Structure 1
Amino acid sequence: MDGREPTVEKGQPGTAAAALFGLCPRCRGKTLFARGIRFDERCAACGLDFAKFNVGDGPAAFLTLAIGALITGLAIWLELAVQPPFWVHVLLWVPITALAVVFGLRVAKGWLIGAEYRNAAKEAGGREP
């Protein structure tokens, strides 16, 4: 990506742990996200350019489907088991869904950028420089 070979050093967290904590895939500094689910432009510790990675919309589409199915199933179960008023569903499922999507996107995007770095991924069909 930037001339340096990806390295995996003994004792450093793997891709999943790095994704959970927003760690830079090169130096493992907690610098991957600027805020929320937006990547920082580059790592403040080692200078890795995060803009060169292409995470795309894959995590958002997958999480929308997966979390939507899970929340719908839980809401149906709650309705059939307890039959609460509609406002209970709104107060319960709207915040849970929002938090699940934001946290899930953060983890999925962190995992994908870590996997791209670790595997030295490049655009398909492109020529090697």
Structure 2
Amino acid sequence: MSQHRHWPPLSPMQVGLRGRCPRCGEGKLFNGFLTLRKSCDVCGLDYSFADPADGPAFFVICFACIPSVVFGIWIEVAYAAPYWVHLVTTLPVMLLTCIPPLRPLKGWLVASQYYYKAEEGRRVLREEG
């Protein structure tokens, strides 16, 4: 776990979507499905800088949930489908379009935070004198 080694910049898309460390590209980013590890098991990068907040959920809602809800509404309006039809069509479509993208999107957002050195905004006070 060398702290003095030079790490080449890695594409956030490349490492994030695979759930790999944004610094070395080898260590795992996740401990479980969506839980971030405390640090990289290969290079020792501390992941405490990472805070994707609701970013992954926002993207999934915009790009997956809305189309799957439209699909369910279309089935209802076009066919006046009973509830069991929605249970075997709309529910699986919603689950398959909403849950799988969460992990790669969270990985991409964390890797982007590292790559672009994104930090929480701070107020800068001028020194008088």
**TM-score bucket of the superposed structures, by smaller chain:** 0.7 to 0.9
Provide runs of 4+ in structure 1 moved above 6 Å: 2-6
Give the TM-score of the pair, scaled to structure 1.
0.75
1:34 match: secondary structure: coil
Q: Which runs of 5+ in 2 are unaligned?
A: 125-129
Is 1:49 the counterpart of 2:46? The answer is yes
Identity of aligned residues (%): 31
Q: Is the 8 A contact 1:37 1:102 kept in 2?
A: no
Q: Which amino acid aligns with 2:17?
A: L
Deviates more, 1:14-23 or 1:27-36: 14-23
What is the TM-score when the length of structure 2 is the normalising length? 0.75
* Letter paired with 1:107: P
Please say which of residues 31-40 and 99-108 is displaced more in the overlay. Answer: 99-108
Contact (CA 8 Å) 2:7, 2:23: kept in 1 or not?
A: yes
1:23·1:31 contact (CA, 8 Å) conserved in 2?
Answer: yes
1:30 Cα offset (Å):
4.7
Letter in 1 for 2:32: R
**Greater CA radius of gyration, 1 or 2?**
2
In 2: Cα distance, 1:84 partner to 1:74 partner: 12
Q: Which moved more, 1:14-23 or 1:35-44?
A: 14-23
Counterpart of 1:64, as a letter, is: I
Report the CA distance shift for 1:109/1:3 in structure 2 as closer, same or farther (over 3 A): farther
The answer to whether the 8 A contact 2:68-2:97 is kept is no
| 2:65–2:98 contact (8 Å) kept in structure 1 | no
Unmatched 5+ stretches in structure 1: none
CA RMSD of aligned residues (A): 2.7
Structure with greater proportional helix content:
1
Contact 1:32–1:110 (Cα < 8 Å) also in 2 = yes
The C-alpha deviation readout for 1:8-43, integer Å capped at 9, x for no partner, is 26xxxx322322211111111250111111111111
How far is the alpha carbon of 1:73 from its aligned partner? Answer: 1.4
